[in-house]
Structure 1
Amino acid sequence: MKLEPVERDQARAAGRVFRRRVFYIPGYDPIHPRRYRELYRKEGAHQAALSGYRLSLRPKTGGGPYGWQVTGDVEGARVEAEVEVLVWSDIVRGSMSNSIPATYLQLVRTAWAYIGSGALFRLMRLRKGPMIAALYPIVFLLLQLTVAVGLGWAVAKLMLWPLANIPVSRTLAVALATGHALIWIAVAKAVLIWFRARDNKVFAWYLMHDYAYSAQAGGANPPDLEARMSDFRKAIRAALEQDLDEVLVIGHSSGAHLGVSILADLIRGGLPDTRPALSFLSLGQVVPMVSFLPRATRLRADLHYLSTRGELTWVDVTAPGDGCAFALCDPVSVTGVAPEGKRWPLVISAAFTRTLSPARWQALRRRWFRLHFQYLCAFDALPGAADDYDYFRITAGPQTLGARFAARKPSKSRIETPVSGYRSTA
């Protein structure tokens, strides 16, 4: 049953347990979802100690997708939440080529997808951070290729140098040239393999696969991803038929635009007459990286549709300190598909410079990829007021997303100017 905020306060006063189901949609991540459980456990304990509430985690019971259960004693109420990770890491791993030539071919195709369509130049008008992050793997991989080719040539030249000035027959000259080429290629390949093996420090190869996956079909979803999204929609639909107070869908990074399409399809298909509150929290979104591409008509239509719906609450949280996200860019408006009567998303800032202590901010400010996950972590300067962004209050606290942010105004610094050159939703 969907309760109004006043009724929820009365239910809490009567000692009623608040029950929530959380569906977390990761971004383009090939790693097992247990990393999210450990992150929640560690950072939740830290935030609870800072803010004066209690959280406890236990394993999920029964089968089904990976997840965990949370009990919270937050804001004077008891909360039971079940968190489920909507896993598509197997699809991500399948898209990450192990072939070095294939990765460089992806580089060429991805660069052309954004440059040839004009999307790159329009995206640069929004935020410089994500564009630097997008160009970074291209520049870094080309630099690695240059180093590998240069070292290969130098090693081959050095190894065959003693024979350079010795008169040889034409047959031997051909053999020497062939040997030079083979040594050159072998060394260059070894250098590139060495670079790739250490990518967990620089993330250039990983990011190249990420952007290539979004761009491979000009912004359209691959069939295997569409099939998985359909499974996710069915799982969320089933939760809406349970005795819960809230079903909360969280989309992080690339998971945000998947969440938009999943929820749009869910609402189009019809919701139960009696149901818990339906909420959508998008974190660190990179929606324009897809919605600005020519064939992203499905996503643009879903953005247009979801932005008017009264069946859900949609809050979009980013931060200017996150160089990998389109911070404070309203994904509907900048894509140019905002309809009359638009009501979502509520765009707010996690304001890292205010919600992190000066010492913590200094420690993290140059760690781009770590900051991109800060939305899922503790904020050590957070005052604890209910209207501030606190991931653990949202997921394990006794208010729905709509009630928690009912009085919150959108960020004054948000960007709503339509920039995309492709706005078709047909």
Structure 2
Amino acid sequence: MSDQDKSVRKRLVFYIPGYDPFHPRRYRELYRKESALQSEISGYDIGLKPKQGKGPYGWHVSASIDGADVETEIEVLYWADLVKTSMNMGIAATYGVMTRTAWTYIGSGALWRLMRLRKGPVIAALYPVGFLLLQAFLAWLVAYGIAQLAQLLLSGPFAVMLGWAVGAGAAYGVLEWFRRKDNKFFAYYLMHDYAYSARTNGANPLELEKRMSDFVARISDALASDADEVLVVGHSSGAHLGVSVLADLVRAGRVRDSGPTLSFLTLGQVVPMVSFLPDAWRLRADLSFLASQETPFWVDVTAPGDGCAFALCDPVSVSGVAPADKSQPLVFSAAFTQTLSPERWNALKRRFFRLHFQYLCAFDRPKDYDYFQITAGPKTLIERYEGRPASKSRIETPVNRYNRVTP
């Protein structure tokens, strides 16, 4: 087949977000802003319009890149409602799940093995535990101080009781203040994120499995369309959801030789945070299965500058489930320190959560990774990256204690 025959004129993109409680319009506006900036830097034309096809939420992209006009429909595979529900708990319940989550990772030995891969995401996982404990300590100091003050100022048998009662109320106020300011601290958010998988020891919650079945059906419909490429993009926790969704799709025989090219792009993945848990049999089996398939072509992009991702860790190999005929994924770095200008890198390098979304943003000095050319350009993912060498510094050592793919 010639390059002209393989070129893309119509593409359907399915974006699977990470553990994110926000409305999908956040991703539309991010795409609008960053694609305009990247097109100005790279010299191509790209613009957004309202969604034209069916589906719950998305947007249409018209682009002219490398002399070719491409029409793309981007749809967000929505599971933010499940995230919101899982986060809907009070202060006491959050401290309860903190205890259970910490015990899950420490008691299973997963935490120590994860540290052998990358310390950044492990520190990110420990941060909410440490900060929530600090909040509790500060609240106790306030309660203790008020109780001691009451004993100095008041007399009688009820002084101690009154002091501690007022102190307890003040302590709750401190904890509630931190909870309401969590959009600045992210302690509750991250704690609920890690707890979501830990509560089932790495197995998918039933409500998530049902939603993933809906994703399979939606992508299956797209594979019966006249699109040239169907591209699935999984970011952060959405990467491991994408692995299982596509594994189910392929096993079900939904991929037709005469249909659109099926492609898979994972960005900033945190797969080991789940695959290293004892009961993540489903995910480990899907990783092993997908790694030996020719379709979809799978590219995994991370960057050492992203402290929230397992940068350059081959998610199949480090999980200990690489089959003998493993051929995927292609693992390489977005190389933030090289593809961002020194000024932008200095401005962003301490903004850890912002850097975790950099894969979806513009680069000052892009090399061969450009999110907007991948999602709106005239080449399929395999056409763009087939033959590209993987990063030499990638980590493939199997360190997972739990490598069984069946219960």
What TM-score range do you get, normalising by the shorter chain? over 0.9
1:364 and 2:348 aligned: yes
1:85 and 2:58 aligned: no
**Pairing 1:235-314 to 2, within 5 Å after superposition:** 235-271=218-254, 272-314=256-298
Q: 1:367 is matched by which residue type in structure 2?
A: R
Who wins on radius of gyration, i.e. which is larger? Answer: 1
C-alpha distance in structure 2 between counterparts of 1:97 and 1:120, whole Å: 26
Aligned to 2:147: 156
- Residues 85-118 of structure 1, C-alpha deviations (whole Å, 9 max, x = no match): 0010000000013310000001100000000000
Q: Alpha-carbon deviation of 1:214?
A: 1.4
Task: Provide the TM-score with structure 2 as the length reference.
Answer: 0.97
Aligned to 2:325: 341
Look up the SS of the partner of 1:314 in the other structure.
strand
C-alpha distance in structure 1 between counterparts of 2:55 and 2:301, whole Å: 29
The count of residues paired between Structure 1 and Structure 2 equals: 405
Q: 2:342 is matched by which residue type in structure 1?
A: P
Q: Alpha-carbon deviation of 1:160?
A: 4.6
Look up the SS of the partner of 1:120 in the other structure.
helix
1:393 and 2:356 aligned: no
Alignment partner for residue 424 of structure 1, among 401, 404, 407?
404
Aligned to 1:351: 335
Question: Larger deviation: 195-204 or 61-70?
Answer: 61-70
Q: Alpha-carbon deviation of 1:10?
A: 5.0
Q: 1:9 is matched by which residue type in structure 2?
A: Q
The percentage of aligned residue pairs carrying the same residue is 63
**Pairing 1:204-223 to 2, within 5 Å after superposition:** 204-223=187-206
Q: 2:386 is matched by which residue type in structure 1?
A: A
Q: Does the 8 Å contact 1:97/1:103 carry over to 2?
A: no
Q: Does the 8 Å contact 2:150/2:162 carry over to 1?
A: no
Query: Unmatched 5+ residue regions in structure 1?
Result: none
Aligned to 2:385: 405
1:112 and 2:103 aligned: yes
Residue 100 to residue 310, structure 1, CA distance change in 2 (3 Å): same
Q: Alpha-carbon deviation of 1:176?
A: 3.2
Aligned to 1:381: 365
C-alpha distance in structure 1 between counterparts of 2:152 and 2:139, whole Å: 20
Q: Does the 8 Å contact 2:121/2:307 carry over to 1?
A: yes
C-alpha distance in structure 2 between counterparts of 1:206 and 1:417, whole Å: 31
Alignment partner for residue 415 of structure 1, among 382, 386, 395?
395
Task: Provide the TM-score with structure 1 as the length reference.
Answer: 0.93
- Residues 255-307 of structure 1, C-alpha deviations (whole Å, 9 max, x = no match): 00000000000000002342110000000000000000000000000000000
Q: Alpha-carbon deviation of 1:182?
A: 1.7
Alignment partner for residue 197 of structure 1, among 162, 180, 187?
180
C-alpha distance in structure 1 between counterparts of 2:239 and 2:80, whole Å: 15
C-alpha distance in structure 2 between counterparts of 1:308 and 1:96, whole Å: 36
Alignment partner for residue 122 of structure 1, among 113, 130, 133?
113
Q: 1:120 is matched by which residue type in structure 2?
A: L
Look up the SS of the partner of 1:286 in the other structure.
coil
Aligned to 1:25: 16
Query: Unmatched 5+ residue regions in structure 2?
Result: none
Q: Alpha-carbon deviation of 1:180?
A: 2.4
